[in-house]
Chains A and B, each alone.
Chain A
Amino acid sequence: MIGKIVELYRRVSTTLPDDVMAKLDDAFCNETNDSAKNVLGKMLDNARLASGGKVPICQDTGTPIFYVKRTADVSEVKIKKDINEASRIATEQSILRPNSIDSSNEQIIGNVPEIYFKEVDTEAERDATSKVDIRLMLKGGGSENITQVYSLPGNIGRFKGLQRDIDGVRKCVIDAVLKAQSKACPPYVIAAAVGGTVAGAAKKSKLMLFDDIGVGTDEKLLSEINNLGIGPVGLPGRTVALDAKIGYGVRHPASYFVVVSFSCWCTRRGRL
């Protein structure tokens, strides 16, 4: 298992998923600003160079996030040990930058992944998974820093009197994009989770980034975002987002959280 997880790390760190490459290529073809087009071309070149040379696409190999679906007879402790050992080996092999810092003493401690487990009901989801289904995302720090948490109803930025409805949710996402601008490597994949506690909504929005582009997409929102005129690296452009997803969870009557998570154009995810 350890060797397979190291190979998963290598694949995810060095190769963009097909759906992300295809959308980036669309963005490149649709771009009319010469400089922005040039930049998008360099992104595509970089991705091809990385996968050809088996080197990390971006030096920020992010926080490794694992989403593990397992049947009842598989031990979480064992999987966790394997993942931690694979992370150590991947760091040693320069597939990952040593990215984990103990905030209490500022010591570098290699790479300590965030791991989310879900026990699968073998009867109901037998087709959906084998005994264990491991997904990995390398979540960049820059795009993590532009995460926004909103609470509706209220006034948000230039938008006054937002209600607890789809228009309110869309305006939250647009406000988040206006704040982010091109700081964190657009074109972005954006996932907004509605409902839950703040922690629950934040987790949900993060897990939504595991889904392919086009799953859960709000097309109206995506087109409004891409009309803002924000391109890459402070340039005007026609594509600031490759995808804009909205997902709903259960909420308390008093609360209506909207957590907006971003992933950079280097959206790196894969499945064992």
Chain B
Amino acid sequence: MKKLQLPLSLDDLKSLELNEFVLISGHIITARDKAHRYMTEKRIDNYNGSIIYHCGPIMKKTEGVYSAVSAGPTTSARMSIYTGKLIDMYGVNLIIGKGGLSANAVDSMKGRCVYLSAIGGAGVIYANSISKVIGVKKLEFGMADAIWELKVVDFPAIVSIDIEGNNSYDLIKEKSSMKF
């Protein structure tokens, strides 16, 4: 399995092949429904070049320190309407989620952003791959919708939309629709 250290260069992104299994390590932030709206309505400092994880974790605070209890991906489709703008505003070049993104979102990613699928439901495996919760913003959005800044080690994922916009979800959709 290929190991990747974040952040990734354009050459790194180009080397990622569809359906390839990877293990990623480095800094990522969680952002789901409310965070996407917030981050695209006005520019937020310090999020340039962020790697976005569509996730609403369960976090636990023990003696003032947060740790992840369960932290798998949430369905990415809902974030599609914000994706292009998020990439334009913050130079995001890697998005992690589940279920893929809409055709418009994939168009906006071409040549500059890759999408990885995390395994939905595997909350404990992903919590275990979070070595540190660095910080949290907008906790008033709720635990699930807050922006959690994380350090991850060997986070397992699958390349589902490559740098050229090839989309494994679309390929399966086409094939399955041909059965009838």
Residues of A within 8 A of B (CB): 35, 38-39, 42-43, 45-46, 49-50, 53, 55-61, 94, 97-99, 101, 108, 140-142, 145, 158-159, 174, 178, 181-185, 227-236, 264-266
Contacts and interface: CB of A to CB of B under 8 A. Distances in A.
B interface, over-half SS: mixed
A236 B168 CA distance: 9
B158 A56 contact: no
B124 A49 contact: yes
Contacts of A49: 124-125, 128
Interface stretch (B40-48, B68-76, B81-89, B103-111): B68-76
Interface residues of B, number: 43
A233 B173 contact: no
A108 B168 CA distance: 36
A66 to B, nearest CB: 21
A267 B69 CA distance: 19
A38 B21 CA distance: 9
Given A61-B58, A183-B99, A235-B172, A159 B142 contact: no
A interface, over-half SS: loop
B160 to A, nearest CB: 5
Q: Of residues A46, A59, A236, which shows the largest number of chain B Cβ atoms within 10 Å of its Cβ? A: A59
Interface of B: 19, 21, 55-58, 60, 69-72, 74-75, 77, 98-100, 117, 119-125, 127-128, 142-144, 156, 158, 160, 167-169, 172-173, 175-177, 179-180
B124 A60 contact: no
Given A53-B124, A94-B58, A233 B70 contact: no
Contacts, number: 151
Contact of A50 (B21, B123, B168, B176): B123
B121 A266 contact: yes
B172 A183 contact: no
Given A58-B70, A178-B177, A229-B176, A97 B60 contact: no
A189 B57 CA distance: 24
Q: Of residues B70, B117, B169, which shows the largest number of chain A Cβ atoms within 10 Å of its Cβ? A: B70
A174 B177 CA distance: 10
